[in-house]
Amino acid sequence: MQFRPANAFPFWVPAIVFAATLPPSSAFGQQQARHQQILQLVDQHAAHFSAISRSIWEYAELGYQEEKSSALLQRELQAAGFRVEAPVADEPTAFVATYGEGEPVIGILGEFDALPGLSQAATPDRSPIVADGPGHGCGHNLLGSGAALAAVALKELMERNHISGTLRYYGTPAEEGGDGKVYMIRAGLFRDVDAVLQWHPGSENAVSNGGMLAITSARFLFHGVAAHAAMAPDRGRSALDAVMLMGNGIEFLREHIPSNSRIHYIITNGGAAPNVVPDTAELYLLARNPSLPVLGGIWDRILKIGQGAALMTETTLDVKEVGGNANVVPIDPLAKVAQRNLEEVGGFRYTAEEKHFAEELQKSLPAGGAGELDSTTLVQPLRRPDLNAAAASTDVGDVSWNVPTIGFNTATFVPGVVPHTWQATATAGMSIGQKGMIVAAKALAATGADLFSNRQLVLDAKTDFGRQMEGKTYQSVIPAGQKPPLNYRHK
């Protein structure tokens, strides 16, 4: 079943009216009163943080280079009364903003990195602002700003109602391949957190209870011996041969791993000239699976294929720039509360201008790829992700292996638009994306209010986390001692 909010109201009027009829001593009535207050607080700050999201959209800074974006969010949170610690975890653009003290400790995740090559004006036709420049094709300008909007509203609720506990906003850089959260975990920044809330832009309103794909990536750099390819090929040892043999080995491996796995690679260096036996060649490879332990076994086999290719060609192999993220662990007690809150908030409707924008943008999508425009008004039913369905990867997964974590997707993109496209960049920079961001902020803030006021919910989340992690141990594939790849090559 899908849920539709009342027209022209930011949240469901029947729930608020019902709450007003209950005596103040009613726990349900108190909860609804808090929700009404937190939703109003979000509305009060919505225009300001929409403007902030637009500024970050215009900055469009790549991972670990988000200097202006991070500084802007730090200033806003500091002005709102948060204590800001920056930088952290050896990451120049990472920070933690804190309000309050004591338990529970509730975290909200914020991201703000852009993607290479997706520069785009906020128009429904392909129109780069900077040729080959970066753009917010995953909507992280909305993500970081919406999470900050929720944090500021929640802080004001706590302050006005004398609610105890610690609220933290985590400014997490380089989600797009830089594994920023992994290094923040290693720095101990999540060690005392009871629960984490997060959200992500998308094309529908839904609770994200687990899912995503664990991922491991690395660059396989082979070293051989150069020689004249015609006069003395016998003296050469081809690094390119090693790369090609490794690729062939990967193709044979596909038959013998779980069918819900993904392996993709490119040759980033194939040699300097065809008449020179290549003394260096590189394969850049990513592997994914819904289960972190299963992926670990697959990765061990991939490493053996690389070693075998080196052995066959008498070359040597360096495995470099290892990165990776875990899958997201589901937390059922938090998912139920998050679902109820997202249904209470509901979706939003397009204006006539926004509908025209969306219809024009959908003309650029593949045939049959456009979704129904009224899907932005709906909330999808709570469900566990299909482990055999297509999915992406995120370093939120690593957080979820350490702290009970729950998240939302909200309809910031025109229905049918997928992330990492110029169409996503376009909607992330205008009112459609900003309206979806406000829906997310309200759902995040309402769920945070529930966690601060209901200690049993926190305990239930931690109990379920223990059950989910029984027999499992978190271990990142990133080598111990490896520093954040501040100059990593963006995918």
CATH 3.30.70.360 range(s) for the chain read 214-324
Q: Is the peptide bond before 385 cis (omega within 30 degrees of 0)?
A: no
Integer angstrom CA distances of residue 241 from 220, 314, 317:
13, 10, 12
Share of the chain above pLDDT 70, in %: 94
157 pLDDT more than 70 = yes
Share of the chain above pLDDT 90, in %: 87
Looking up tokens 């933290």 gives 168
Per-residue pLDDT at 8: 35
Other CB atoms within 10 A of residue 447 CB: 30
For residues 173 and 144, give the distance between their C-alpha atoms in angstroms, rounded to a whole number: 10
Per-residue pLDDT at 489: 65
Q: Which of 104, 100, 95 is nearest to 76 (CA)?
A: 95
Integer angstrom CA distances of residue 443 from 22, 207, 407:
23, 10, 9
When mean pLDDT is compared across 38-52, 223-237, 475-489, the lowest value belongs to 475-489
Per-residue pLDDT at 441: 98
In 21-174, alpha helices (H): 27-59, 67-79, 140-161
Q: Which of 137, 171, 136 is nearest to 58 (CA)?
A: 136
Phi, psi of 194 (to 5 degrees): -90, -35
For residues 217 and 225, give the distance between their C-alpha atoms in angstroms, rounded to a whole number: 26
Per-residue pLDDT at 368: 85
161 in Cβ contact with 24 (< 8 Å): no
pTM, two decimals, is: 0.91
Structure tokens at 421: 């496209």
Integer angstrom CA distances of residue 75 from 49, 66, 69, 109, 136:
12, 14, 10, 17, 21
Q: For residue 14, name the pLDDT band (cuts at 50, 70, 90).
A: very low
Per-residue pLDDT at 394: 96
Other CB atoms within 10 A of residue 355 CB: 15
20 pLDDT more than 80 = no
If you average pLDDT over residues 449-474, what whole number do you get?
97
Per-residue pLDDT at 264: 97
Q: What is the pLDDT of residues 79-120, one digit of tens each?
A: 999 999 999 999 999 999 999 999 999 999 999 999 999 999
When mean pLDDT is compared across 12-16, 54-58, 104-108, 348-352, the lowest value belongs to 12-16
When mean pLDDT is compared across 106-110, 142-146, 389-393, the lowest value belongs to 389-393
**Average pLDDT over all residues of the chain:** 93
Integer angstrom CA distances of residue 234 from 222, 224, 241, 317:
18, 12, 13, 20
Which residues make Cβ contacts (< 8 Å) with residue 138, sequence separation at least 6?
A: 115, 176, 201, 419, 420, 424
13 pLDDT more than 90 = no
Per-residue pLDDT at 7: 36
97 in Cβ contact with 433 (< 8 Å): no
For residues 478 and 325, give the distance between their C-alpha atoms in angstroms, rounded to a whole number: 9
Q: For residue 490, name the pLDDT band (cuts at 50, 70, 90).
A: low
Q: What is the pLDDT of residues 271-311, one digit of tens each?
A: 999 999 999 999 999 999 999 999 999 999 999 999 999 99
For residues 36 and 39, give the distance between their C-alpha atoms in angstroms, rounded to a whole number: 5
282 in Cβ contact with 316 (< 8 Å): no
* CATH number of this structure's domain 13-212+327-468, picked from the four choices 3.40.630.10, 3.40.50.2300, 3.40.190.10, 3.40.1410.10: 3.40.630.10
Structure tokens at 256: 């013998």
Ramachandran class of 455: left when φ > 0, alpha when ψ lies in -120 to 50, beta otherwise: alpha
Task: State whether residue 191 is helix, strand or coil.
Answer: coil
CATH 3.40.630.10 range(s) for the chain read 13-212+327-468
The architecture CATH gives domain 214-324: 2-Layer Sandwich (3.30)
Is 4 or 110 the better-scoring residue by pLDDT?
Answer: 110
Q: What is the pLDDT of residues 207-243, one digit of tens each?
A: 999 989 999 999 999 999 999 999 999 999 999 999 9
If you average pLDDT over residues 13-35, what whole number do you get?
58
Query: What angle, rounded to 10 degrees, do the helices at 239-253 and 292-313 form?
Result: 140
Beta bridge partners of 335: none
